[in-house]
Amino acid sequence: DQQVKQNSPSLSVQEGRISILNCDYTNSMFDYFLWYKKYPAEGPTFLISISSIKDKNEDGRFTVFLNKSAKHLSLHIVPSQPGDSAVYFCAAGVTGNQFYFGTGTSLTVIP
Amino acid sequence: GAGVSQTPSNKVTEKGKYVELRCDPISGHTALYWYRQSLGQGPEFLIYFQGTGAADDSGLPNDRFFAVRPEGSVSTLKIQRTERGDSAVYLCASSLEGVGYTFGSGTRLTVV
């Protein structure tokens, strides 16, 4: 039973535009959420996180939004750059325990 | 070291053989996690260590899989009687306080 879902397996965006990646979770006990970026033949790289006490966290071009009532989070990348092309995984869990990962969204930023 | 180191990076083994995968976490990180990632899937949890003890091994698929962390640092994931379905990328991650994992590059295991 998938506790974290990324329903869009792929996304293409023009360079300079906004990329929006979405993620849904089922467990209301989850209190910490992470986004990872993965290039081929590499392990996932931590990108940005958000605690359940916040609804927004921003780091440069990357912003994560959390809607606890909808059990939904999204990652916004503005402006998108070709180097952002990668697979993005969201993960959710309870602090100090395992995290559950979605199946990933492959982002392609077109120059 | 600066990051999480996993060896070997690639392992090809014959069905039925025994394999060991090693993870060297970031120095000082007390939490260590093993995940497995199959093609087209996100990482799936296997086992979590806090110090030397396995705090949660509920993700290990069966008793052919075992992991140890005897000194609270390096961990070894051991797979007995490997099967073709065990082929995947095995990822290790470490963490200081249970959030914001740092992943290694993984070991790609192929069982032929």
Select from A32, A91, A97 the Cβ nearest to the Cβ of B56.
A97
Query: Which has more confidence, A42 or A106?
Result: A106
Cβ contacts (< 8 Å) between B105 and chain A: which residues? 41-43
* Cβ pair B100:A34 closer than 8 A: yes
Cβ contacts (< 8 Å) between B8 and chain A: which residues? none
Give B5-61 as a DSSP string.
Answer: EEE-SEEEE-TT--EEEEEE--TT--EEEEEEE-TTS--EEEEEEETTEEEE-TT--
**Per-residue confidence (pLDDT) for residue A6, from 0 to 100:** 96
pLDDT tens digit string along A50-101?
A: 999 999 999 999 999 999 999 999 999 999 999 999 999 999 998 777 889 9
Select from A42, A98, A103 the Cβ nearest to the Cβ of B41.
A103
**Per-residue confidence (pLDDT) for residue B99, from 0 to 100:** 63
pLDDT tens digit string along B16-52?
A: 999 999 999 999 899 999 999 988 888 999 999 998 8
Q: Using an 8 Å Cβ cutoff, are A33 and A49 in contact?
A: yes
Interchain contact B44–A (C-beta under 8 A): yes
By C-alpha distance, which of A13, A3, A1 is closest to A105? Answer: A13
Classify residue A28 by its DSSP letter: T
Distance from CA of B21 to the nearest CA of A (A): 15
